[in-house]
Amino acid sequence: MKTMFEYNWMIRDQWFNWCQQVSNDELLRNRTGGIGGILETLFHIADVEYSWIQDLQGKPDFQEPFEKYNSLDQVIKLSESFHPIVEEFVNTWTDDMEDNILIPPWDLNRKYTYGEVLRHVIAHEIHHIGQLSVWARELDLKPVSANLIGKGLITIDLQH
């Protein structure tokens, strides 16, 4: 699971770099098939990841609106501020946490396992990265590669 979080973080940073070539107006433009535009999607990715991890730790989630973070620099800073907290949780994950139960504070009638929540967070970001790729092509720009292979996240010893 840690590898998939590392993959998402790497790809997110590459998307932040990709965004440097696009005007703020284009980053804010509302797009079809998503929750808003490119920048709002990147905000949403960071928000959802952080909020779920906060929930798993019994801490309050992030509640601020996108409108307070409507520039690339602000979204990058927000994502960077969340990252150490999320990374610490991911790095301290153990298999015995897999079946712990989360009852989300916004819906006390639901129950999720911690493992289910972490897999949801991973899949959620990958889903939105696909949307960003489509929108990049609509702008006639090459999207960030979504390949996991060749990113150096998984290494093997070829001697054995």
Task: For the chain, list the domains and their CATH numbers.
Answer: 2-138 (1.20.120.450)
Q: Rounded to whole angstroms, how far apart are CA atoms 27 and 13? A: 15
Instruction: State yes or no: pLDDT of 41 exceeds 80.
Output: yes
What is the overall mean pLDDT for the chain?
A: 95
Condensed to tens digits (0 to 9), the pLDDT of residues 107-154 reads: 999 999 999 999 999 999 999 999 999 999 999 999 999 999 888 888
Alpha helices in the chain (DSSP H): 2-19, 24-28, 38-56, 72-91, 114-138
Torsion region of 46: left, alpha or beta (phi above 0 gives left; psi -120 to 50 gives alpha): alpha
pLDDT of residue 8: 97
Which residue type is seen at 62?
F
**HSE-up (13 A, CA, CB side) for residue 152:** 2
In this prediction the pTM is 0.94
Q: Which of 78, 69, 82 is nearest to 27 (CA)?
A: 69
Q: Percentage of the chain with pLDDT > 90?
A: 86
Query: Alpha carbon of 112 to those of 1, 4, 14, 18, 85: distances in Å?
Result: 17, 20, 31, 35, 21
Instruction: State yes or no: pLDDT of 159 exceeds 90.
Output: no
**Strand (E) or helix (H) holding 32:** none
Condensed to tens digits (0 to 9), the pLDDT of residues 57-86 reads: 999 989 999 999 999 999 999 999 999 999
pLDDT of residue 158: 67
Q: Which of 134, 92, 105, 66 is nearest to 5 (CA)?
A: 92
Confidence of residue 160 (pLDDT cuts 50, 70, 90): low
